[in-house]
Chain A
Amino acid sequence: MMSATGGARRRSGTAVGLGLATLYLSLVVLVPLATVAWRSTSHGTDSFWHSVTTPEALAALRLTMGAAAIVVVVNVVMGSLIAWILVRDDFIGKRLVDTLIDLPFALPTIVAGLVLVSLYGPTSPLGINLAYARSGVLVALLFTTLPFVVRTVQPVLLEMDGEMEQAAASLGASRLTIFRRIVLPNLYPGIAAGAALAFARASSEFGATVLISGNIPFKTQVASVHIFGLIESDNATGAAAVSTVLLVIALLVLLALDVAQRWAVRRG
Chain B
Amino acid sequence: MAISVRHLSKRFGTFAALDDVSVEIPTGQLTALLGPSGGGKSTLLRIIAGLEAPDSGQVEIGGLDATSLPPQRRNVGFVFQHYAAFKHMSVRKNVAFGLEIRKRPKAEVQRRVDELLELVHLEQFGDRLPAQLSGGQRQRMALARALAVEPNVLLLDEPFGALDAQVRKELRVWLRRLHDEVHVTTVFVTHDQEEAMEVADEIVVINHGRVEQVGTPDELYDQPASAFVMGFLGPVTKLGGRMVRPHDLELTDQPAPGAQAATVLRVTRLGFEVRVDVKVGDEEVWVQLTRGEAAKLSLKPGDSVFVMDAGKEIAG
A interface, CB within 8 angstroms of B: 1-7
Contacts and interface: CB of A to CB of B under 8 A. Distances in A.
Interface string B27-71: 000000000000000000000001111000000000000011111
Nearest to A5: B68
A8 to B, nearest CB: 10
A119 to B, nearest CB: 45
Does more than half of chain B's interface fall in helix, strand or loop, or is it mixed?
loop
Contacts of A3: 50, 53, 67-71
A197 B230 CA distance: 59
Contacts of B51: 1-2
A4 B68 CA distance: 5
A1 B50 CA distance: 9
B64 to A, nearest CB: 14
A4 B50 contact: no
A105 B176 CA distance: 57
15 contacts: A1-B53, A2-B51, A2-B53, A2-B70, A3-B67, A3-B68, A3-B70, A3-B71, A4-B53, A4-B67, A5-B68, A5-B70, A6-B50, A6-B53, A6-B70
Contacts of A2: 50-53, 70-71
Nearest to B50: A3
A6 B47 CA distance: 13
Contacts of B52: 1-2
Nearest to A4: B68
Contacts of A6: 50, 53, 70-71
A7 B51 CA distance: 10
A173 to B, nearest CB: 35
A1 B71 CA distance: 11
A4 B52 CA distance: 9
A7 B71 CA distance: 11
A6 B54 CA distance: 12
A2 to B, nearest CB: 6
A252 to B, nearest CB: 33
A5 B69 CA distance: 7
Contacts of B69: 3
A3 B67 CA distance: 7
Nearest to B52: A1
Contacts of A5: 68, 70
Given A3-B53, A7-B53, 6 more contacts: A1-B53, A2-B53, A3-B50, A3-B67, A6-B53, A6-B71
Contacts of A4: 53, 67-68
A3 B53 CA distance: 5
A1 to B, nearest CB: 6
B57 to A, nearest CB: 11
A9 to B, nearest CB: 8
Contacts of B70: 2-3, 5-6
Nearest to A6: B70
A4 B53 CA distance: 6
Contacts of B68: 3-5
A202 to B, nearest CB: 40
A14 to B, nearest CB: 15
Interface string B62-94: 000001111100000000000000000000000
A1 B69 CA distance: 12
Nearest to B70: A6
Nearest to A10: B70
Nearest to B59: A3
Q: Which 9 A-B pairs have the closest CB atoms?
A: A6-B70, A4-B68, A5-B68, A3-B53, A3-B50, A3-B68, A3-B70, A4-B53, A7-B53
B12 to A, nearest CB: 11
Contacts of B50: 2-3, 6
Nearest to B66: A3
Contacts of A7: 53
Contacts of B53: 1-4, 6-7
A5 B50 CA distance: 11
A4 B70 CA distance: 8
A2 B52 CA distance: 5
Nearest to A1: B52
A57 B53 CA distance: 59
A6 B51 CA distance: 10
- Which residue of B52, B67, B70 has the most chain A CB atoms within 10 A of its CB atom? B70
A106 to B, nearest CB: 28
A157 B51 CA distance: 38
Contacts of B71: 2-3, 6
- Which residue of A2, A3, A5 has the most chain B CB atoms within 10 A of its CB atom? A3
- Which residue of B50, B53, B69, B71 has the most chain A CB atoms within 10 A of its CB atom? B53
A18 B250 CA distance: 70
A6 B68 CA distance: 8
A64 B235 CA distance: 72
B107 to A, nearest CB: 33
A4 B65 CA distance: 13
A2 B46 CA distance: 9
A7 B67 CA distance: 12
Contacts of B67: 3-4
B157 to A, nearest CB: 15
A5 B68 CA distance: 6
A187 B163 CA distance: 34
